[in-house]
Structure 1
Amino acid sequence: MQLNAGCELTFDVQSPTPLVLMLRPRSGAGQWIIREEYQITPAVNVTEFTDLYGNLCQRVLAPEGPFSIHFSATVQTADLIDVSPGAPYTPVQELPDDVLHYTLPSRYCQSDQLGDLAEQITDGVEPGYDQAEAIRKWIHTNIKYEYGTSDASTSAVDTASKRVGVCRDFTHLGISLCRSLNIPARMVVGYLYQLDPMDLHAWFEAYVDGRWFTFDATQEQPRGNRITVAYGRDAADVAFTTQFGPMQLNEMKVWVDLAQPDMNESEKKAEKAPTVSASVGSNQQTDGVV
């Protein structure tokens, strides 16, 4: 399916502020970037680099005053995601070097503190894909999805205790529980077609049987038509904006629609996503995944 997706962010900048942006998806497994448009107002110099996780990042210096970022793309997406019940666990000694670090605890994913819960959830379940799916299902069933119940400091341990959160919290918990079983897991952020309410989204991937599989604890059933923007250990690695100075996010709009000849029609349908003053990364980051 071809989708038009994008976001628009508007800021007030108190003084010239360096920014790192992470808004451009790249072609890869399950997606092909057909067209993209990136507009920054007022115009500034932009340099781009690829981070440690393969994400496309842009560096800019935002001038004082009103500042806006508009990104839109047309993307060919996979209608289905791969599922593989019974796929075996990959022993740690067989993991590729670039996957091994996804077994370790990270800032918001304290997998070393959640082993007992992971064992309870997966008791009697075959190691590998079925364990990751049991974790996804348990989170979907036992964690309540509710806006405004978490903030920039909320971790997987907090979510396991409070049993409430939003997609980033569901994702951190899923990652942590998988890692506690020595299953590599990573955070993914991007867009999901027909997400309700519309917003930027987060889910996790687990590495079993020698490859990555998608798991989304906010959804009842596996769903395709996803556009991946970034991968990381947790939300600290995948913030859509990271600022190094005083600036305020005023508004964020997000849209995902079936591809149409006139992109403006898609943008007219953009829903206003909740404005967040901070991400789960730090008080200088915005991930929009709330």
Structure 2
Amino acid sequence: MQLNAGCELSFYAQSPTPLILMLRPRSGAGQWIIREEYQITPAVNVTEFTDMYGNLCQRVVAPEGPFSIHFSATVQTADLIDTGIGAPYTPVEDLPDDVLHFTLPSRYCQSDQLGSLAAQITKNVESGYDQAEAIRKWIYESITYQYGTSDASTSAVDTAASRVGVCRDFTHLGISLCRALNIPARMVVGYLYQLDPMDLHAWFEAYVDGRWFTFDATQALPRGNRITVAYGRDAADVAFTTQFGSMTLNEMKVWVDAVQNETSESDKKVDEEATLLTTVGSTEQTAN
């Protein structure tokens, strides 16, 4: 499915403020960027780099006063996500070098403190994909999704104790429980079609059987039509905006809409004939 997705961010900077933005998705597995538009007001110098996870990042300095960012894109997305029931666990000694660090604890994912819970959830479950799926299902069934119950400092350990949170918290907990079983797991942020309420979204991927699989603990069943913007160890790596100074976010809008079906072939033919008659017989034509 083709999706039109994007966001608008409106800030007020109390003084000139450096920013790192992470808003541009890139073509890759399950998505192809057809069109994109990036507007920053007022106009400022922008430089772009690729971080260690392959994410596209933009550096700007917002001047004092109002500052806004508009990003939109049309993306071809996969209608389904791959599943792998029974896919085997990949031993740590066989992991690629660039996957190894996704087995370690990180700022919001204290996997070293959640081993007992992970073992309890996956008791008698086959090692590998089935363990990650058991974790996803347990979070979906056991953690209450509720806005306003967590903040930027909430960690996986906090969520495991409170049993409440939002997609960010669900994701941190899923990552931590997988890593506690030596299954590499990483955070993914982006857009999800028909998310309710609409917002920027987070989910996790687990590495089993030599590849990454998608898991979303906020959803009852696997869902495709996702647009990935960034990957990282946890939320510290995938912030859409990172500011280095006093700056207030006043408003944020997010949208994901299906591209309307193209005109049918018969309608196209009628339109082409009408255009041909209009142009060929037009008295407004000029000879070159």
Fold agreement, TM-score > 0.5:
yes
CA offset at residue 4 of structure 1? 0.1
Whole-angstrom CA distance in 1 between matches of 2:14 and 2:251:
16
Runs of 5+ consecutive residues of structure 2 not aligned to the other structure:
262-288
Indicate the SS of the match to 1:135: helix
The residue correspondences of 1:1-290 to structure 2 (distance < 5 A) are 1-260=1-260
CA offset at residue 134 of structure 1? 0.1
Match of 1:276 in 2: none
Whole-angstrom CA distance in 2 between matches of 1:69 and 1:187:
24
Q: Give the number of the structure whose alpha-carbon radius of gyration is greater.
A: 2
Deviations 1:203-233, CA, capped at 9 Å, x for gaps:
0000000000000000000000000000000
Indicate the SS of the match to 1:251: strand
Match of 1:279 in 2: none
Give the alignment's TM-score, normalised by structure 1.
0.90
**Runs of 4+ residues over 2 Å off in structure 1:** none
Whole-angstrom CA distance in 2 between matches of 1:97 and 1:28:
21
> Paired residues, what number?
261
Whole-angstrom CA distance in 1 between matches of 2:11 and 2:158:
30
Whole-angstrom CA distance in 2 between matches of 1:39 and 1:151:
29
Letter in 2 for 1:214: T
User: Does the 8 Å CA contact 1:12/1:65 hold for their aligned counterparts?
Assistant: yes
Whole-angstrom CA distance in 2 between matches of 1:109 and 1:80:
28
Whole-angstrom CA distance in 2 between matches of 1:64 and 1:4:
32
CA offset at residue 152 of structure 1? 1.0
Give the alignment's TM-score, normalised by structure 2.
0.90
CA offset at residue 76 of structure 1? 0.1
Letter in 2 for 1:106: S
Whole-angstrom CA distance in 2 between matches of 1:28 and 1:153:
31
Percent sequence identity is 88
User: Does the 8 Å CA contact 1:4/1:260 hold for their aligned counterparts?
Assistant: no
The root-mean-square deviation of aligned C-alpha atoms, in Å, is 0.7
Indicate the SS of the match to 1:176: helix
